[in-house]
Structure 1
Amino acid sequence: MTTKIRQVKKEIIVFDFDGTLIDSTQEIVEAYNESFSKNNLYRVPARLIKQNLGKFRETIIKKIYPSLGSRKIRKIAEDQGKLLDISKAQAKPNVVETLTKLSRKYTLAIASNAEHKTIVKTLQHLEINPRFFKAIVGMDNISHRKPSTEALEKLERALGSKIRAVVGDTETDIQMAKSYNVLAVAVVGTRSYKDLLKEYPDIIVKDLSELSELI
Protein backbone atom coordinates (compact mmCIF):
# COMPACT_ATOMS: atom_id res chain seq x y z
CA MET A 1 0.00 0.00 0.00
CA THR A 2 1.36 3.40 -0.99
CA THR A 3 0.95 6.27 1.45
CA LYS A 4 0.48 9.67 -0.16
CA ILE A 5 2.33 12.48 1.55
CA ARG A 6 0.32 15.68 1.45
CA GLN A 7 2.50 18.67 0.71
CA VAL A 8 1.60 21.66 2.86
CA LYS A 9 1.62 24.90 0.91
CA LYS A 10 3.79 27.67 2.27
CA GLU A 11 2.14 30.73 3.78
CA ILE A 12 2.31 33.98 1.82
CA ILE A 13 4.26 37.13 2.62
CA VAL A 14 2.84 40.11 0.71
CA PHE A 15 5.11 43.07 0.01
CA ASP A 16 4.21 46.58 -0.95
CA PHE A 17 6.47 47.80 -3.75
CA ASP A 18 7.65 51.41 -3.80
CA GLY A 19 9.05 52.53 -0.45
CA THR A 20 9.30 48.93 0.72
CA LEU A 21 11.34 47.01 -1.85
CA ILE A 22 12.53 49.99 -3.89
CA ASP A 23 12.89 53.74 -3.40
CA SER A 24 11.85 56.15 -6.16
CA THR A 25 10.82 59.02 -3.88
CA GLN A 26 12.83 61.67 -5.70
CA GLU A 27 11.58 60.51 -9.09
CA ILE A 28 7.97 60.61 -7.89
CA VAL A 29 8.37 64.11 -6.45
CA GLU A 30 9.94 65.38 -9.66
CA ALA A 31 7.16 63.83 -11.78
CA TYR A 32 4.52 65.61 -9.69
CA ASN A 33 6.26 68.95 -10.03
CA GLU A 34 6.78 68.48 -13.76
CA SER A 35 3.08 67.67 -14.15
CA PHE A 36 2.16 70.80 -12.15
CA SER A 37 4.37 72.94 -14.41
CA LYS A 38 2.93 71.33 -17.53
CA ASN A 39 -0.55 72.31 -16.34
CA ASN A 40 0.41 75.92 -15.53
CA LEU A 41 0.66 75.42 -11.77
CA TYR A 42 3.49 76.24 -9.38
CA ARG A 43 6.00 73.60 -8.34
CA VAL A 44 5.72 72.80 -4.63
CA PRO A 45 8.23 71.89 -1.89
CA ALA A 46 9.13 68.21 -1.89
CA ARG A 47 7.90 67.76 1.69
CA LEU A 48 4.30 68.49 0.64
CA ILE A 49 4.40 65.57 -1.74
CA LYS A 50 6.45 63.21 0.44
CA GLN A 51 4.10 63.49 3.41
CA ASN A 52 1.27 62.15 1.23
CA LEU A 53 3.09 59.34 -0.57
CA GLY A 54 1.18 56.07 -0.44
CA LYS A 55 -2.11 57.77 -1.24
CA PHE A 56 -3.77 57.86 -4.65
CA ARG A 57 -2.37 60.38 -7.13
CA GLU A 58 -5.69 62.19 -7.32
CA THR A 59 -5.81 62.47 -3.52
CA ILE A 60 -2.30 63.92 -3.34
CA ILE A 61 -3.05 66.49 -6.04
CA LYS A 62 -6.31 67.49 -4.35
CA LYS A 63 -4.51 68.01 -1.03
CA ILE A 64 -1.91 70.26 -2.64
CA TYR A 65 -4.34 72.13 -4.91
CA PRO A 66 -7.75 71.82 -3.20
CA SER A 67 -9.50 74.27 -5.54
CA LEU A 68 -8.91 72.20 -8.70
CA GLY A 69 -11.82 70.48 -10.41
CA SER A 70 -11.96 66.71 -10.91
CA ARG A 71 -11.20 66.89 -14.65
CA LYS A 72 -8.05 68.95 -14.08
CA ILE A 73 -6.95 66.63 -11.28
CA ARG A 74 -7.35 63.58 -13.53
CA LYS A 75 -5.30 65.28 -16.25
CA ILE A 76 -2.46 66.09 -13.83
CA ALA A 77 -2.56 62.54 -12.44
CA GLU A 78 -2.29 61.09 -15.95
CA ASP A 79 0.62 63.42 -16.75
CA GLN A 80 2.39 62.45 -13.52
CA GLY A 81 2.17 58.78 -14.47
CA LYS A 82 3.59 59.45 -17.93
CA LEU A 83 6.39 61.69 -16.61
CA LEU A 84 7.55 59.29 -13.90
CA ASP A 85 11.06 58.08 -14.76
CA ILE A 86 12.00 54.89 -12.92
CA SER A 87 15.52 54.71 -14.37
CA LYS A 88 17.01 56.35 -11.26
CA ALA A 89 15.05 54.32 -8.71
CA GLN A 90 17.13 52.29 -6.25
CA ALA A 91 16.62 48.95 -4.55
CA LYS A 92 16.26 49.16 -0.78
CA PRO A 93 19.28 47.88 1.18
CA ASN A 94 19.53 44.10 1.59
CA VAL A 95 16.45 43.46 -0.55
CA VAL A 96 17.78 40.53 -2.61
CA GLU A 97 19.34 38.82 0.42
CA THR A 98 16.09 39.19 2.37
CA LEU A 99 13.92 37.87 -0.46
CA THR A 100 16.26 34.90 -0.92
CA LYS A 101 15.99 33.94 2.76
CA LEU A 102 12.24 34.44 3.03
CA SER A 103 11.49 32.55 -0.19
CA ARG A 104 12.84 29.36 1.40
CA LYS A 105 10.09 29.46 4.03
CA TYR A 106 7.29 31.49 2.45
CA THR A 107 5.61 32.17 -0.88
CA LEU A 108 6.30 35.80 -1.80
CA ALA A 109 3.90 38.17 -3.54
CA ILE A 110 3.43 41.89 -4.24
CA ALA A 111 0.34 44.05 -3.76
CA SER A 112 0.88 47.62 -4.87
CA ASN A 113 -0.98 50.75 -5.93
CA ALA A 114 1.51 50.96 -8.82
CA GLU A 115 0.63 49.53 -12.23
CA HIS A 116 1.56 45.89 -12.85
CA LYS A 117 3.81 46.62 -15.84
CA THR A 118 5.65 49.33 -13.89
CA ILE A 119 6.37 46.90 -11.06
CA VAL A 120 7.79 44.23 -13.38
CA LYS A 121 9.78 46.75 -15.43
CA THR A 122 11.31 48.30 -12.31
CA LEU A 123 12.23 44.93 -10.80
CA GLN A 124 14.01 43.99 -14.02
CA HIS A 125 15.76 47.36 -14.21
CA LEU A 126 17.08 46.96 -10.66
CA GLU A 127 18.07 43.33 -11.27
CA ILE A 128 15.62 41.99 -8.68
CA ASN A 129 14.38 38.76 -10.22
CA PRO A 130 10.58 39.00 -10.68
CA ARG A 131 10.51 35.21 -10.16
CA PHE A 132 10.95 35.80 -6.43
CA PHE A 133 7.25 36.66 -6.52
CA LYS A 134 4.72 33.98 -7.37
CA ALA A 135 2.05 36.62 -7.95
CA ILE A 136 1.97 40.39 -8.46
CA VAL A 137 -1.17 42.48 -8.09
CA GLY A 138 -1.00 46.06 -9.32
CA MET A 139 -3.64 48.77 -9.18
CA ASP A 140 -4.75 47.88 -12.72
CA ASN A 141 -5.50 44.28 -11.66
CA ILE A 142 -8.17 45.19 -9.10
CA SER A 143 -11.22 47.44 -8.76
CA HIS A 144 -10.44 48.80 -5.29
CA ARG A 145 -6.98 49.94 -4.29
CA LYS A 146 -5.37 49.77 -0.85
CA PRO A 147 -6.39 49.91 1.95
CA SER A 148 -9.10 47.70 0.42
CA THR A 149 -8.32 44.01 1.01
CA GLU A 150 -9.28 43.03 -2.55
CA ALA A 151 -5.64 42.48 -3.53
CA LEU A 152 -5.10 40.11 -0.60
CA GLU A 153 -8.23 38.14 -1.43
CA LYS A 154 -7.08 37.83 -5.04
CA LEU A 155 -3.61 36.65 -4.00
CA GLU A 156 -4.97 33.94 -1.70
CA ARG A 157 -7.25 32.64 -4.45
CA ALA A 158 -4.46 32.65 -7.02
CA LEU A 159 -1.87 31.00 -4.80
CA GLY A 160 -4.15 28.63 -2.91
CA SER A 161 -2.67 29.45 0.46
CA LYS A 162 -3.12 31.81 3.41
CA ILE A 163 -1.36 35.12 3.95
CA ARG A 164 0.98 35.30 6.93
CA ALA A 165 1.96 38.98 6.78
CA VAL A 166 1.82 42.22 4.81
CA VAL A 167 5.04 44.25 4.67
CA GLY A 168 4.70 47.93 3.75
CA ASP A 169 5.84 51.47 4.42
CA THR A 170 2.62 53.48 4.76
CA GLU A 171 -0.62 53.68 6.70
CA THR A 172 -2.60 52.01 3.91
CA ASP A 173 -0.46 48.87 4.10
CA ILE A 174 -0.96 48.58 7.86
CA GLN A 175 -4.69 49.28 7.59
CA MET A 176 -5.08 46.65 4.87
CA ALA A 177 -3.24 44.02 6.91
CA LYS A 178 -5.22 44.71 10.07
CA SER A 179 -8.52 44.65 8.19
CA TYR A 180 -7.58 41.21 6.86
CA ASN A 181 -6.41 39.97 10.28
CA VAL A 182 -2.87 39.17 9.20
CA LEU A 183 0.47 40.34 10.57
CA ALA A 184 1.12 44.02 9.81
CA VAL A 185 4.83 44.72 9.32
CA ALA A 186 5.79 48.37 8.85
CA VAL A 187 9.06 49.52 7.25
CA VAL A 188 10.53 52.86 8.34
CA GLY A 189 11.38 55.18 5.45
CA THR A 190 8.50 56.92 3.74
CA ARG A 191 7.02 57.40 7.22
CA SER A 192 8.92 57.86 10.48
CA TYR A 193 8.90 55.29 13.27
CA LYS A 194 6.68 57.63 15.29
CA ASP A 195 4.14 58.05 12.47
CA LEU A 196 3.98 54.31 11.80
CA LEU A 197 3.46 53.60 15.50
CA LYS A 198 0.19 55.56 15.38
CA GLU A 199 -1.31 52.82 13.18
CA TYR A 200 -0.40 50.06 15.67
CA PRO A 201 1.45 47.65 13.37
CA ASP A 202 2.48 44.30 14.84
CA ILE A 203 6.14 44.80 13.90
CA ILE A 204 8.22 47.81 12.82
CA VAL A 205 11.59 47.34 11.10
CA LYS A 206 14.20 49.84 9.98
CA ASP A 207 15.86 47.47 7.52
CA LEU A 208 14.44 44.60 5.47
CA SER A 209 17.17 42.29 6.76
CA GLU A 210 15.36 42.19 10.11
CA LEU A 211 12.39 40.37 8.57
CA SER A 212 13.93 36.91 8.33
CA GLU A 213 14.41 36.88 12.11
CA LEU A 214 10.98 38.25 13.00
CA ILE A 215 8.45 36.43 10.81
Structure 2
Amino acid sequence: MSYPYPLVVFDLDGTLVDSAADIAEALNRTLQDWQLPRVPEATVLTWIGDGVRRLVEQAFDAAGSQTDLDAVMPGFMRHYEACLLRSPRLFDGVEPALQALQARDVRLAICTNKPSALVAPLLQHFGLQAVFAVVLGGDSLPERKPSGAPLRHIAAHFGVAPEAALMVGDSITDYRAAVDAGMPVALVRYGYPRGLDLDTVQAVAVMDDLQELLAL
Protein backbone atom coordinates (compact mmCIF):
# COMPACT_ATOMS: atom_id res chain seq x y z
CA MET A 1 0.00 0.00 0.00
CA SER A 2 1.42 3.39 -0.98
CA TYR A 3 1.89 6.07 1.64
CA PRO A 4 0.40 9.57 1.20
CA TYR A 5 3.76 11.27 1.93
CA PRO A 6 6.79 10.29 -0.17
CA LEU A 7 9.05 12.07 2.33
CA VAL A 8 8.82 12.19 6.13
CA VAL A 9 11.16 14.49 8.09
CA PHE A 10 11.67 13.78 11.78
CA ASP A 11 12.85 15.86 14.67
CA LEU A 12 15.30 13.90 16.86
CA ASP A 13 15.27 14.75 20.59
CA GLY A 14 11.79 14.31 22.04
CA THR A 15 10.45 12.71 18.87
CA LEU A 16 12.65 9.71 18.12
CA VAL A 17 15.06 9.72 21.05
CA ASP A 18 14.51 10.35 24.76
CA SER A 19 17.76 12.16 25.56
CA ALA A 20 16.49 14.55 28.23
CA ALA A 21 18.44 13.01 31.12
CA ASP A 22 21.72 13.21 29.19
CA ILE A 23 21.15 16.79 28.04
CA ALA A 24 20.21 17.76 31.61
CA GLU A 25 23.35 16.14 33.01
CA ALA A 26 25.56 17.96 30.49
CA LEU A 27 23.90 21.25 31.36
CA ASN A 28 24.17 20.63 35.11
CA ARG A 29 27.85 19.77 34.86
CA THR A 30 28.31 23.07 33.04
CA LEU A 31 26.43 24.99 35.74
CA GLN A 32 28.60 23.33 38.39
CA ASP A 33 31.74 24.38 36.49
CA TRP A 34 30.62 27.97 37.06
CA GLN A 35 29.62 27.42 40.71
CA LEU A 36 25.93 27.58 39.87
CA PRO A 37 23.27 25.23 41.31
CA ARG A 38 22.05 22.21 39.39
CA VAL A 39 18.48 22.30 38.07
CA PRO A 40 15.87 19.52 37.83
CA GLU A 41 15.52 17.59 34.59
CA ALA A 42 11.89 18.73 34.37
CA THR A 43 13.11 22.33 34.17
CA VAL A 44 15.68 21.51 31.49
CA LEU A 45 12.89 19.90 29.43
CA THR A 46 11.24 23.30 29.10
CA TRP A 47 14.42 24.72 27.57
CA ILE A 48 15.15 22.01 24.97
CA GLY A 49 14.42 22.57 21.29
CA ASP A 50 15.93 25.87 20.16
CA GLY A 51 19.55 24.73 19.92
CA VAL A 52 22.35 24.34 22.44
CA ARG A 53 23.33 28.00 22.78
CA ARG A 54 19.76 29.00 23.61
CA LEU A 55 19.57 26.09 26.08
CA VAL A 56 22.65 27.27 27.95
CA GLU A 57 21.54 30.91 27.75
CA GLN A 58 18.20 30.10 29.41
CA ALA A 59 19.92 28.11 32.17
CA PHE A 60 22.37 30.89 32.99
CA ASP A 61 19.63 33.53 32.81
CA ALA A 62 17.55 31.48 35.25
CA ALA A 63 20.56 31.27 37.58
CA GLY A 64 20.96 35.05 37.44
CA SER A 65 24.41 34.71 35.90
CA GLN A 66 25.85 37.34 33.54
CA THR A 67 28.67 35.04 32.39
CA ASP A 68 29.69 35.48 28.75
CA LEU A 69 28.19 32.58 26.79
CA ASP A 70 31.21 32.45 24.50
CA ALA A 71 33.24 31.45 27.56
CA VAL A 72 30.67 28.85 28.63
CA MET A 73 29.93 27.04 25.39
CA PRO A 74 33.22 25.13 24.86
CA GLY A 75 32.86 23.50 28.27
CA PHE A 76 29.21 22.73 27.67
CA MET A 77 30.02 21.07 24.34
CA ARG A 78 32.63 18.85 26.04
CA HIS A 79 30.04 17.78 28.61
CA TYR A 80 27.40 17.32 25.92
CA GLU A 81 29.65 14.97 23.99
CA ALA A 82 30.66 13.11 27.16
CA CYS A 83 27.01 12.62 28.20
CA LEU A 84 25.65 11.88 24.72
CA LEU A 85 25.46 8.11 25.13
CA ARG A 86 24.94 7.87 28.90
CA SER A 87 21.32 6.72 28.77
CA PRO A 88 19.48 7.68 25.57
CA ARG A 89 16.61 5.45 24.48
CA LEU A 90 14.32 5.26 21.51
CA PHE A 91 10.74 6.07 22.38
CA ASP A 92 8.34 3.12 22.17
CA GLY A 93 7.12 2.51 18.63
CA VAL A 94 9.97 4.33 16.89
CA GLU A 95 11.79 1.34 15.40
CA PRO A 96 8.71 -0.46 14.03
CA ALA A 97 7.35 2.80 12.64
CA LEU A 98 10.60 3.58 10.79
CA GLN A 99 10.81 0.02 9.46
CA ALA A 100 7.22 0.12 8.22
CA LEU A 101 7.73 3.46 6.47
CA GLN A 102 10.89 2.14 4.80
CA ALA A 103 8.96 -0.92 3.66
CA ARG A 104 6.55 1.46 1.91
CA ASP A 105 9.47 3.16 0.13
CA VAL A 106 9.03 6.42 2.04
CA ARG A 107 12.18 8.54 2.12
CA LEU A 108 13.20 9.48 5.66
CA ALA A 109 15.22 12.47 6.89
CA ILE A 110 16.12 14.18 10.15
CA CYS A 111 15.92 17.89 10.88
CA THR A 112 17.17 18.65 14.39
CA ASN A 113 18.62 21.65 16.19
CA LYS A 114 21.18 19.35 17.85
CA PRO A 115 24.78 20.12 16.73
CA SER A 116 25.41 18.00 13.64
CA ALA A 117 28.62 16.46 15.03
CA LEU A 118 26.57 14.83 17.81
CA VAL A 119 23.77 13.49 15.63
CA ALA A 120 25.75 10.79 13.81
CA PRO A 121 27.10 9.09 16.98
CA LEU A 122 23.59 8.98 18.41
CA LEU A 123 22.11 7.42 15.27
CA GLN A 124 25.01 4.96 15.12
CA HIS A 125 24.36 4.01 18.76
CA PHE A 126 20.87 2.86 17.77
CA GLY A 127 21.90 1.37 14.42
CA LEU A 128 19.82 3.94 12.56
CA GLN A 129 22.52 5.69 10.54
CA ALA A 130 21.45 4.01 7.27
CA VAL A 131 17.76 4.73 7.77
CA PHE A 132 17.92 8.47 7.05
CA ALA A 133 19.04 9.66 3.63
CA VAL A 134 19.54 13.25 4.82
CA VAL A 135 20.41 14.48 8.31
CA LEU A 136 20.50 18.21 9.11
CA GLY A 137 21.76 19.50 12.46
CA GLY A 138 21.24 22.90 13.98
CA ASP A 139 24.50 24.16 12.48
CA SER A 140 24.19 22.54 9.03
CA LEU A 141 22.64 25.61 7.38
CA PRO A 142 22.66 29.36 8.12
CA GLU A 143 19.12 29.03 9.55
CA ARG A 144 17.68 26.40 11.86
CA LYS A 145 14.18 25.60 13.14
CA PRO A 146 11.83 27.41 13.73
CA SER A 147 12.82 28.71 10.31
CA GLY A 148 11.31 26.60 7.58
CA ALA A 149 14.52 26.84 5.54
CA PRO A 150 15.94 23.46 6.65
CA LEU A 151 12.68 21.69 5.79
CA ARG A 152 12.54 23.37 2.39
CA HIS A 153 16.19 22.38 1.85
CA ILE A 154 15.43 18.73 2.60
CA ALA A 155 12.33 18.70 0.38
CA ALA A 156 14.31 20.24 -2.48
CA HIS A 157 17.04 17.60 -2.06
CA PHE A 158 14.47 14.89 -2.76
CA GLY A 159 12.64 16.87 -5.44
CA VAL A 160 9.49 16.86 -3.30
CA ALA A 161 7.29 19.92 -2.80
CA PRO A 162 7.19 20.92 0.90
CA GLU A 163 3.41 20.63 0.93
CA ALA A 164 3.69 17.00 -0.24
CA ALA A 165 6.05 15.98 2.59
CA LEU A 166 5.39 15.52 6.31
CA MET A 167 7.23 16.93 9.32
CA VAL A 168 7.04 14.91 12.55
CA GLY A 169 8.03 16.65 15.79
CA ASP A 170 7.14 17.34 19.39
CA SER A 171 7.69 21.03 20.06
CA ILE A 172 6.50 24.46 19.07
CA THR A 173 9.87 24.86 17.30
CA ASP A 174 9.01 21.95 15.00
CA TYR A 175 5.48 23.22 14.49
CA ARG A 176 6.61 26.73 13.54
CA ALA A 177 9.23 25.36 11.15
CA ALA A 178 6.62 23.24 9.40
CA VAL A 179 4.19 26.16 9.13
CA ASP A 180 6.96 28.41 7.77
CA ALA A 181 7.92 25.75 5.21
CA GLY A 182 4.32 25.11 4.18
CA MET A 183 4.76 21.46 5.20
CA PRO A 184 2.05 19.38 6.93
CA VAL A 185 3.00 18.46 10.48
CA ALA A 186 2.26 15.56 12.82
CA LEU A 187 3.09 15.88 16.53
CA VAL A 188 3.79 13.43 19.33
CA ARG A 189 2.42 13.83 22.85
CA TYR A 190 5.28 12.13 24.66
CA GLY A 191 8.08 14.58 23.86
CA TYR A 192 8.95 18.03 25.18
CA PRO A 193 5.98 20.02 23.80
CA ARG A 194 6.50 23.28 25.68
CA GLY A 195 4.43 26.21 24.48
CA LEU A 196 2.18 24.03 22.35
CA ASP A 197 -1.46 23.17 23.06
CA LEU A 198 -1.70 19.72 21.50
CA ASP A 199 -5.48 19.67 21.94
CA THR A 200 -6.09 22.65 19.68
CA VAL A 201 -3.07 22.73 17.36
CA GLN A 202 -3.66 22.40 13.61
CA ALA A 203 -1.85 19.17 12.75
CA VAL A 204 -2.34 16.16 10.50
CA ALA A 205 -2.17 14.00 13.64
CA VAL A 206 -1.30 14.20 17.33
CA MET A 207 0.07 10.82 18.38
CA ASP A 208 0.86 8.86 21.52
CA ASP A 209 2.93 6.35 19.52
CA LEU A 210 4.87 6.90 16.29
CA GLN A 211 3.26 3.81 14.78
CA GLU A 212 0.08 5.88 14.44
CA LEU A 213 1.83 7.45 11.44
CA LEU A 214 1.09 4.27 9.51
CA ALA A 215 -2.66 4.88 9.70
CA LEU A 216 -2.49 8.27 7.99
Give TM-score scaled by structure 1 length.
0.85
Structure 2: where are the runs of 5+ without partners?
none
User: Bigger radius of gyration, 1 or 2?
Assistant: 1
1:62-106 per-position Cα deviation (integer Å, ceiling 9, x unaligned): 33332444x622333332222121222111212221111112242
**SS of aligned partner of 2:117:** helix
Aligned-pair distance for 1:188?
1.4
Superposed, 1:37-116 pairs within 5 Å as 37-66=32-61, 67-69=64-66, 72-84=68-80, 85-87=83-85, 88-103=87-102, 104-116=104-116
Rounded Cα–Cα distance in structure 2 between residues aligned with 1:54 and 1:13: 19
- Does structure 1 residue 31 correspond to structure 2 residue 29? no
Name the % identity.
26
Q: Which residue of 1 aligns with 2:118?
A: 118
Paired residues in the alignment total: 203
Question: Which residue in the other structure is 2:172 paired with?
Answer: 171
The residue type equivalent to 1:156 in the other structure is A
Q: Residue type of the partner of 1:213?
A: A
Amino acid at match of 2:46: Q
**Secondary structure in structure 1 of the residue aligned to 2:13:** coil
SS in 2 for 1:13: strand
Q: Determine if contact 1:48/1:64 at 8 Å carries over to the other structure.
A: no
Deviation at 1:190, TM superposition (A): 2.7
Query: Structure 1 residue 137 and structure 2 residue 133: aligned?
Result: no
Over 3 Å counting, the alpha-carbon distance change for 1:116 and 1:65 in structure 2 is closer
- Residue 186 of structure 2 corresponds to 185
Structure 1 unpaired stretches of 5+: 1-9
**Distance of 1:192 and 1:151 partners within structure 2:** 20
How much is the aligned-residue C-alpha RMSD, in angstroms? Answer: 2.1
Q: TM-score, structure 2 length as denominator?
A: 0.84
- The 2-side partners of 1:187 and 1:101 are apart by 18
Code of the residue aligned with 2:209 in structure 1: it is D
